[in-house]
């Protein structure tokens, strides 16, 4: 069995430090001997003391960042912020990722704050979620509050910001490495700024920190004539492998990947292109394998409300968006569970997502799951699986585009690197 633990700087870093220390120690000792060889007895005593100073290997400390999958015992997590959240401008990439009934909302409110009363309720819900996580023994970290109304301009576009609500979209932890996703929405170009203080803190304590190539997000990255008037259009285009993002340059959101030890699964979506997937595949090889999977989904964006791995060989698979490669999981001995139809009412606004946030759950360990307090049928599903439900209400926070998995990025889970997919 492959067993790897996260140590500060990694084993290669420790080996390098030991080698440099040993070489430096030999050099200093030789210089001391040559310089003081024929001096007085007092100098000889200094030489003797210098020669007896041991060269020791640095003490290896646990890295504060270490996570290999979605279900090992959760010890530390980043939870997003709803504060100051703004509606993104209604650009072509936003239009392709939202449903037609909400287009007037974007046309009216793009670049402005989300409705104040709704936003306040979302803020309160997430605060309560953080309190419950702490009660369950999890360390909670938060991004910096930022004014997302500020307009910014690059050589290629002008936009306002959006939010730092969904750390799962922008940050992925693989082992002791934090990967900062390049993103694909112009309104999210500078979203990383809210997380930089946290990332620098983790880096100083030994974590690896990687930022893939930042896309220019020039017009060539998007199909400006992408036809998406109806759901039928979306189904047809997705089946043909056509998306609003082109292959002009690499782009991806971290939430299009889901981890299972040495294997990561990813979908080509409206925000993740094949160049971005290939960048990740090369970057993580040879220790990890990246598998592309696809779904019958008219609006693919982020995998965790479609295919959510909740345990070793255990996955929630959305029955409305069947996985085209599901047989390979069954052949590998995995248990595929179809979650029940969500109970969220039709009149509740979901500006950026579908009702299937009900399956967008956060595993605290293999036997505990954080789940929507309103979804009674999925509670029963987990109980039948022998998993205790930690019920939390984030119904207003859902409206901003995410469930518990989206609203978090697990920084540290207690476990080792293993292979679960053969």
Annotated catalytic residues are 253, 302, 406
For 150-157, which contacts have Cβ atoms below 8 Å and span 24 or more sequence positions?
151/111, 152/189, 152/190, 154/189, 154/216, 154/217, 155/216, 156/216, 156/217, 156/218, 156/219, 157/186, 157/217, 157/218, 157/219
**Contact indicator for 308, 349 with CB cutoff of 8 Å:** no
For residues 418 and 415, give the distance between their C-alpha atoms in angstroms, rounded to a whole number: 9
Q: Are 343 and 376 in contact (CB under 8 A)?
A: yes
Query: Nearest CA to 316 among 391, 258, 241, 393?
Result: 258
CB of 152 within 8 A of CB of 71?
A: no
Rg (CA), the chain: 25
Distance CA 142, CA 146 (A): 12
What the block records as the tokens of 262 is: 């040495």
């Amino acid at each position: 069995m492959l067993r790897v633990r996260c140590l500060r700087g990694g084993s290669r870093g420790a080996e390098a430090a030991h080698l440099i220390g040993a070489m430096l120690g030999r050099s200093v000792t030789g210089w001391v001997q040559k310089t003081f060889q024929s001096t007085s007895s007092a100098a000889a005593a200094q030489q003797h003391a210098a020669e007896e100073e041991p060269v020791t290997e640095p003490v290896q400390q646990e890295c504060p960042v270490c996570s290999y999958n979605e279900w090992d015992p959760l010890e530390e997590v980043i939870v997003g912020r709803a504060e100051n959240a703004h509606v993104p401008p209604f650009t072509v990439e936003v239009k392709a990722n939202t449903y037609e009934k909400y287009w007037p909302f974007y046309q009216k409110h793009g670049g402005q704050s989300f409705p104040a009363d709704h936003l306040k309720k979302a803020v309160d819900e997430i605060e309560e979620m953080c309190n419950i996580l702490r009660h369950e023994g999890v360390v909670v970290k938060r991004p910096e509050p930022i004014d997302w109304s500020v307009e910014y301009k690059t050589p290629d576009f002008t936009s306002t910001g959006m939010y730092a609500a969904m750390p799962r979209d922008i940050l992925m932890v693989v082992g002791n490495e934090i990967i900062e996703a390049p993103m694909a929405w112009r309104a999210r170009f500078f979203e990383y700024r809210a997380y930089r203080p946290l990332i620098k803190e983790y880096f100083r304590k030994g974590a690896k920190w990687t930022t893939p190539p930042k896309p220019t997000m020039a017009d060539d990255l998007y199909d400006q004539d992408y036809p998406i008037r109806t759901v039928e259009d979306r189904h047809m285009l997705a089946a043909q492998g056509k998306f609003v993002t082109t292959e002009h340059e690499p782009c991806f959101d971290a939430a299009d990947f889901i981890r299972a030890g040495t294997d990561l699964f990813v979908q080509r979506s409206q925000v993740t292109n094949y160049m971005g997937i290939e960048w990740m595949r090369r970057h993580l090889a040879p220790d990890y394998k990246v598998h592309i999977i696809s779904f019958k989904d008219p609006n693919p964006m982020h995998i965790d409300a479609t295919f959510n791995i909740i345990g070793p060989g255990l996955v929630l698979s959305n029955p409305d968006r069947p996985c085209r490669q599901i047989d390979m999981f069954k052949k590998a001995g995995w248990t595929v569970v179809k979650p029940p139809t969500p109970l969220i009412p039709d009149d509740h606004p979901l500006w950026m997502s579908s009702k299937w946030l009900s399956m967008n759950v956060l595993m605290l360990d293999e036997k505990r799951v954080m789940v929507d307090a309103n979804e009674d049928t999925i509670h029963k599903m987990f109980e039948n699986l022998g998993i205790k439900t930690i019920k939390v209400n984030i119904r207003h926070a859902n409206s901003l585009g995410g469930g518990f998995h989206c609203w978090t990025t697990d920084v540290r889970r207690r476990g080792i690197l293993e292979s679960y997919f053969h």
